Copies of this chain bind each other. A is one copy, B any other.
């Protein structure tokens, strides 16, 4: 296994091609490093500047009065061989080559790419990229990215063959409070491959969830070995581009990756316990689910809402993704009878009825369901109605604004907070996954933040809620089979 400790926890980093001009990659990368609060030393390298962003600047890496662990290389492609030679002479351990114009372009680019690998290997230096977006590491607050990728800190680690997807996934998950331990954009993978990073993540104790965006696997056997090592103890979520011929063609001119057969890849994922997803939204939903939810004991789900339509759609969604609706026991029904209106549904999905008038009954119904032994997870309506305030309030006539505020907003707001806190308490007490559907909840609203920080994801659709539970159950089943096999 390649030792990547000094890549992710370097004492000093040089930015070769650092610049002051807005729009230049060397400017963005340096800015991102300073802004991200890197704990080690930063050495900007630029032959024409004395100082950039308040940092002393050096003409070349050879002038730096210190050992440099990592060089972030932002010079034009034709200058990279010379720069990398100088790096090897200065005993730099890793070069992150952000520059593009290599193997992804044409035959000349491929030759240039081979040349920089040869120079690096001869000098005992390892390369990330070229044509990559950069790297990030929470432990040393190192964010060297041409895309300003400074995500929230946490336990998920990402490797991506597309820089954009690395940025997108980490930032979109950050917005939901999911944090990252490390990310690397592996670009053209001239030297280090995605498999090297996966091996490292498998053993890295700070990494609890692994995610990858893949356009093509270069080392099949190593990939499977690393994947199985990861999934023994950590969820591994994969989004693969190039699953169609058109996509594969696009991938080859993007990072020069060969996409391979999609059916084979799919089978490989199943065998290795990989959670494969279809798009960036599913990736973020699952990063959130694996980072915040316990794994369900099985596929039996209860559904509770105060609105029948949601229950119907959620039941459809559960069945479609292979979940089962738990049958309510006589005891559960009896306990629900005690406080639900007499015309409640009397089966799963539990339609507690009642609209928005009184939804403290939601948390009471939720608790009754969680108490039933074979209810292994619950999908419930999120008790959040932010859209009613933000979308409707501006549409109300002036004459009623005061009364609306006093009659509804205060009461609903208080109830919203109370019910959300009840949900969070139940989530802790029963240790079962609770996933909510925020039919009237807007991302960014206080209620969503409260629930998600409390470990209850809020999804837009019942489909998404059922989907994440089914994928957690699938991983749980993989672990169980693994346990039996040992």
Contacts and interface: CB of A to CB of B under 8 A. Distances in A.
A312 B462 contact: no
A31 B308 contact: no
Nearest to A307: B164
Interface string A398-431: 0110011001100100000000000000000000
Nearest to A310: B164
Interface in A97-139: 100-101, 104-106, 109, 133
Contact of A391 (B162, B174, B246, B439): B174
A186 to B, nearest CB: 12
A246 B318 contact: yes
A67 to B, nearest CB: 25
Contact of A312 (B150, B254, B313, B444): B254
Nearest to A98: B355
Contact of A250 (B345, B356, B408): B345
A150 to B, nearest CB: 5
Interface stretch (A17-25, A43-51, A224-232, A287-295): A17-25
B343 A148 contact: no
A251 interface: yes
Contact of A317 (B54, B279, B325): B279
B215 A391 contact: no
A253 B34 contact: no
Which of A27, A54, A241, A316 has the most chain B CB atoms closer than 10 A to its own CB? A316
A395 interface: yes
A59 interface: no
A263 interface: no
B395 A439 contact: no
Given A101-B343, A253-B346, A281 B164 contact: no
A355 B25 contact: yes
Interface string A304-345: 010111111101111110000100000000000000011101
Instruction: With a 10 A CB-CB cut-off, give which of A243, A254, A345, A355 has the most chain B CB atoms.
Output: A355
B309 A462 contact: no
Most-contacted residue by chain B among A147, A308, A397 (CB, 10 A):
A308
Max count, chain B CB within 10 A of own CB: residue among A313, A351, A462: A313
A309 B162 contact: yes
Interface string A132-165: 0100000000000011111110000000111111
A6 interface: no
Nearest to A104: B343
Among all A-B residue pairs, the 10 with the closest Cβ atoms: A162-B309, A254-B308, A164-B307, A247-B316, A241-B312, A35-B396, A244-B319, A105-B343, A246-B315, A247-B315
9 contacts: A28-B356, A35-B404, A162-B308, A163-B307, A241-B312, A243-B320, A247-B313, A254-B345, A442-B444
